[in-house]
Structure 1
Amino acid sequence: MSWSQRIQQALEQRRQNGQYRQRTPCQQADARSLSIAGADYLNFSANDYLGLSHHPRIVNAWQQGAARYGVGAGGSAHITGFRTPQVDLEQQLADWLGYPRALLFISGFAANQAIIAALAGKDDRILADKLSHASLLEAASHSPATLRRFAHNQPQALAARLAGPCSGETLVVTEGVFSMDGDSAPLAALHQLAQQHNAWLLVDDAHGIGVCGEQGRGSCWQQAVKPDLQIITFGKAFGVSGAALLCDDDTAEFMLQFARHLIYSTAIPPAQVCALQEALRCVQQGDELRQRLRQNIARFRAGADGLRWQMMNADSAIQPLLVGEEGAAVELAARLRQQGCWVSAIRPPTVPPGTARLRITLSAAHLPDDIDRLLEVLHATGD
């Protein structure tokens, strides 16, 4: 079979399975609304949980940073791409979350790949919640370590895995708030188990940071847990992009020597880092935004009572409606778009077979009337 034949076969299989993905260009998009092909929609698919992506202070900080530093880093952080703004932001993040060190990465996906690839050896094992993000599971499966998954949010399942023999080291992996189900991990129980077995705990808190905990410090802070490795990302509540690893001094130095995604990637532009510094201040000062988001979540969940689709047990900004089959989820999303509500249908392989869903995401930027309109459309469509 030629390369072209293999590609065509794979694409056709995706189409037949109802799993074919397509990009949709937006003329305008923010946390509350978007415009596509001349039509306007309420946006219930963004991860901009606090509505900061268009915050004037953050936009202005990026513009001022670009005027001073230019629009690119010009090289990796190990060459010429590590500037004063990066130094300052890393220290600010470390101080904020109570770690000795923070290291900046170009994305959360790159951070997870880099950390696991650098740490995991052939005698080690990685025990990951079965619903962990693809970046974590892919990195673990491609590493020389043994990957074993444990039942979602079940500490007793992790305990059973930890009881098994391992000649090397053990890394326990989970998300703080799960990106597709919207529920929270029992971090305190997982952390206690990891400590009892001399294992390290890695928590990817992409969807918790900025949203929960004092000053938006995230899931780990909220549950009084300090994992050995904490990943935070800036493409959700921060409204920008990029990521950071929080860890101890020796681990940070190890990553600077051996994390290839960090060493060989162009650094985050200093202008973007200027925007992130302002975004951090907005997150720290964002109690009112977090309160507004909590009110929107409560309003949606109360109004969704009685819908024909199963609600997930989630109190986060991620509110999935379990539909089941891929085609039904795609059709439901299309019907909502016809009524001016943009909601994404999530299908396998992103989620397990038979659990296709609408992934509704809420923001502090949504008005009560926006929530009510979505609920009105959902109830009308479900009748």
Structure 2
Amino acid sequence: MPGPAGGATSHANSPAASPAPLGWLGEAARLRAEAGLHRVLRPRAPRAERGPTGAPALPAHGSLQPWTDGDLLLDLAGNDYLGLARHPEVVEGGIAALRAFGAGSTGSRLVSGTTTLHGELESALAEHLGFGSALVFSSGYAANLAMLTVLTGPGDLVLSDERNHASLVDACRLSRADVLVTPHSDVDAVDEALATRSWRRAFVLTDSIFSADGDLAPLAALHAVARRHGAVLLVDEAHGLGVVGPGGRGALAAAGLAGEPDVIATVTLSKSLGSQGGAVLGPAALRDHLIDTARTFIFDTGLAPACAGSALAALRLLTRHPDLPERVQRRAREIAAATGAPEPAGAVVSVVLGDPERAVSVAAACRDAGVAVGCFRPPTVPAGTSRLRVAARADLTEADVSRAVGVITDAIGRFPAP
């Protein structure tokens, strides 16, 4: 409204009244630092060329080299569960795609961003995981957003496990559905909600293996409840592909649920397959629906050909060497047993330390001693459960595991619980 002189009234909280409208960011940073929640980027340097490390060779396809950063840092922080990100065949798959198609996909999948490699990868993923079709996205995050947002709308019900990945949480927020967050792996809570709430269509949403805790969702029980009520089970297999199930076909395959008409899965290509990207798997009708309606497919630049080529090469390696999942599981069990962590369902070993500053200090001490481990703090995990997240890999030797366990246990002992 006009001011006393006919001009506009200046409000104390308007941008024009503040010389530093983003000044609050400094205070927010200070509060995060005080709570032990400040995060730092740590760029990886390129690995120097060198000879074999003595790591055991996989049959018929060359040796795996588990060390990074010039033999100084053993990486147990990343998600390269099968140790394939640097495998010669996987690297060459990306290089060949670069030469054939160029550096970028040049546009969305519907315009110019689909190559023959994308189609080959989608067919191979669907066959390996036991589904009728697959559609590849630029990331697993984009795949999860697409999966839920194209299936749901007002009047629908989504039951989401409280420990689901952030991409699933964000998908729920965009779904426009009625979302109920259920206690972790609580099948009875899901059953009760489906029985007592009104809904047009209902979906039970869960990770297969949870990224922070490393535990397995009760997929068979969740599916039984969902089917009894006419709901659909949606499962993120990001940490299941390549790690669990026969030949690394995932937790759904292990539970006998792959390809069921009321089951939909997503995967990421950035973990066991050592590349980048994601995919949604389900019946052919779902693929058609995604192509026509998924905003993260229609409006996003397609997955780079090099990523598609590398992922396809990794998937072919996994198919040829179905023993790789057992290798990574065995290493994870060894690390868990030696550090007192719960036995993992897959590659993720969760060493809960409680206090975020303690977790940061222990992780830093591990890194200083030559072993990189993940450090998970709120909001990634609940308050009071800050932890080391140790990712096992199939290419680790017994000496690697012994070294890692010694470093981790020593670092924990140097920083006792407050």
Taking structure 2 as the reference length, the TM-score comes to: 0.86
Contact 1:124 1:169 in 2 (8 A): yes
Partner residue in 1 for 2:242 = 210
Query: Aligned match of 2:225 in 187, 190, 193?
Result: 193
Query: Aligned match of 1:183 in 200, 211, 215?
Result: 215
Partner residue in 2 for 1:19 = 37
Code of the aligned partner of 1:282: L
**1:321 maps to 2:339:** no
Query: Aligned match of 2:371 in 311, 317, 341?
Result: 341
Contact 1:153 1:186 in 2 (8 A): yes
Contact 1:31 1:49 in 2 (8 A): no
Structure 1 residues 125 and 31 mapped into 2: Cα distance closer, same or farther (>3 Å)?
A: farther
Within 5 Å, give how 1:288-327 maps onto structure 2.
288-305=323-340, 311-327=341-357
Q: Over alpha carbons, which structure has the higher Rg? A: 2
Shift of 1:299: 2.2
Deviates more, 1:245-254 or 1:180-189: 245-254
Structure 1 residues 290 and 250 mapped into 2: Cα distance closer, same or farther (>3 Å)?
A: closer
Query: Aligned match of 1:258 in 283, 289, 293?
Result: 293
**1:135 maps to 2:170:** no
Q: What CA distance in whole angstroms lies between the structure 2 residues aligned with 1:229 and 1:59?
A: 30
Code of the aligned partner of 1:272: C
**1:283 maps to 2:301:** no
Contact 2:209 2:240 in 1 (8 A): yes
Gaps of 5+ in 2: 1-12, 14-19, 48-63, 414-418
**1:48 maps to 2:80:** yes
Shift of 1:71: 1.4
Gaps of 5+ in 1: 306-310
Shift of 1:31: 7.9
Partner residue in 1 for 2:269 = 234
Q: What CA distance in whole angstroms lies between the structure 2 residues aligned with 1:68 and 1:321?
A: 44
Partner residue in 1 for 2:5 = none
Shift of 1:351: 0.5
Within 5 Å, give how 1:80-91 maps onto structure 2.
80-91=112-123
Q: What CA distance in whole angstroms lies between the structure 2 residues aligned with 1:377 and 1:91?
A: 43
Code of the aligned partner of 1:284: T
Deviation per residue, 1:210-250 (Å, 9 max, x gap): 11112211110011113521001110000101111111122
Q: What CA distance in whole angstroms lies between the structure 1 residues aligned with 2:312 and 2:266?
A: 17
Q: What CA distance in whole angstroms lies between the structure 2 residues aligned with 1:142 and 1:68?
A: 37
Contact 2:264 2:282 in 1 (8 A): yes
Shift of 1:269: 2.2
Partner residue in 1 for 2:397 = 367
Q: What CA distance in whole angstroms lies between the structure 2 residues aligned with 1:6 and 1:118?
A: 37
Q: Percent same amino acid among aligned pairs?
A: 33
**1:149 maps to 2:181:** yes
Query: Aligned match of 2:149 in 84, 106, 117?
Result: 117
Contact 1:31 1:53 in 2 (8 A): no
Structure 1 residues 381 and 70 mapped into 2: Cα distance closer, same or farther (>3 Å)?
A: closer
Taking structure 1 as the reference length, the TM-score comes to: 0.93
Count residues in correspondence. Answer: 376
Question: How large is the Cα RMSD of the aligned pairs?
Answer: 1.9
